[in-house]
Amino acid sequence: MAASQVLAGFHAVAARLRHAPASIKDIYVEASRRDRRMLTLIEQAEQAGRRVHPVETMRLDGIARGQRHQGVVALAEQVELAVDLDEMLDDATDVPFLLILDSITDPHNLGACLRTADAAGVNAVVAPRDRAVGLNATVQRVSCGAADSIAYITVTNLARTLRALKERDIWVVGTDDQAEKTVHDIDCTRPIAWVMGAEGEGMRRLTRETCDELVRIPMLGSVESLNVSVASAVCLYETVRQRTAKKA
C-alpha cells in the first residue's frame, strides 16, 4: 500500500489535483471560507471526482499537523513521477537543461530549488538517493506544487550519473566560490547540467572532480555565499537569459 501524506495549502493541493488526482483520498476545507480562490479549488476537486469536506479551522489544524494550510488540506497517497533519466533525455525535444543537487538535506532548500527549477523550465532535478531529503510534506508545501510537476530523479551513484551525462555531450558545471570564471563567462545555450552542493560543505570531492567546469557567482557585498536555492536561481536564470537572447 502506498505511503500516505498530508498536502497543505492551495498550491500543493491544486497541483496534485492537476497531475495525480486519483492519489487524493479526501480534501478538507475551511467551512466558513467561500471566496473565489476556495470556490475554484472546490470546483476543481469536484470535477476530478474527489471528496470535499467542509470542517472547522480547529479540525484543519489537527489534520495539517503544524503545517500552514490556508484553509485547505488533503490526505493523499505519496506519489513520485516515474521518470527514467535516459528515457527523458532521449525523448527531449529541447536542449537538455538539468539541475543536480548534491547532498541537499534541508526540505526547505529542496522545495525552493524545485519551485525555481520548474519556473526556469528545467527538464529534471537529479539528486543522490542516500544523501538527500525525500519529497516530504515540507518539500511539497515550499515547492508550491512544483514537486508534482517537475521530475525529481534520485540515483544511486551521482558521479556515475554525471559521467553518463558527459557522454551525452551535456556540459556539467559546478559552483565553487574559488573558481576563476563566473556564471556569466560560460555558454549556457549548450546542453547543460548545473551542480549545486549543500550549504557549508558544498559539493563532495568526487562530484567536484567529475564536473567539466567550475564557476562562481560574483559576490560584491560582505556575505561570502548564497543559500543553495538562491544560487540555483542565479545559475538557472542565467541559462534562461542566454537561451532567450539566442532565440531573439
Question: Using one digit for the tens of pLDDT, what is the confidence trace for 33-66?
Answer: 989 999 999 999 999 999 999 999 999 999 988 7
Number of Cβ within 10 Å of residue 59's Cβ equals: 15
Sheet holding 72-77, edge to edge: 4-8, 72-77, 24-30, 51-55
Same domain, 51 and 98: no
pLDDT of residue 206: 93
Domain count within the chain: 2
pLDDT at residue 38, rounded to an integer: 93
- Residues 52, 170, single domain; the answer is no
Instruction: Extract the C-alpha cell encoding 215.
Output: 564557476
Domain shared by 48 and 151, yes or no: no
Domain span including residue 90:
85-247
Residues 105 and 70 in one domain: no
Residues in binding site: 197, 217, 226
Same domain, residue pair 93 and 148: yes
Query: Taking residues 155-171, what's their average pLDDT?
Result: 94
Same structural domain, 14 and 71: yes
pLDDT of residue 162: 96
Same domain, 35 and 99: no
Q: Are residues 126 and 44 in the same domain?
A: no
Domain boundary among 30, 45, 77: 77
First-residue to last-residue Cα distance in the chain: 50
CATH number at residue 187: 3.40.1280.10
**The pLDDT value given to residue 26:** 93
Report the alpha-carbon distance of residue 108 to residue 224 in Å, rounded.
21
Residue 42 and residue 128 in one domain = no
Phi, psi of 6 (to 5 degrees): -105, 125
Domain boundary (58, 77, 96) is at 77
Give exposure, 165-182, as e/b (b: 16+ Cβ within 10 Å): beeeebbbbbbbeebeee
Task: Identify the H or E element spanning 58.
Answer: helix 57-64
Q: Are residues 72 and 96 part of one domain? A: no
Which run of H or E residues covers position 137?
A: helix 137-142
Numbered residues of the known binding site for S-adenosyl-L-methionine? 197, 217, 226
Residues 134 and 234 in one domain: yes
For position 46, which CATH number holds?
3.30.1330.30
How confident is the model over 81-130, as pLDDT tens digits?
556 788 888 877 789 999 999 988 888 999 999 999 999 999 999 999 88
How high does pLDDT run on average in the chain? Answer: 88
Cα separation of 115 and 101, whole Å?
A: 14
The set of long-range contacts for 130-133, using a CB threshold of 8 Å and a minimum separation of 24, is 130/156, 131/102, 131/103, 131/105, 132/101, 132/103, 132/104, 132/105, 133/104, 133/105, 133/106, 133/107
- Whether 101 and 137 map to the same domain: the answer is yes
Look at residues 27, 55, 77 and tell me which one is the last residue of a structural domain.
77
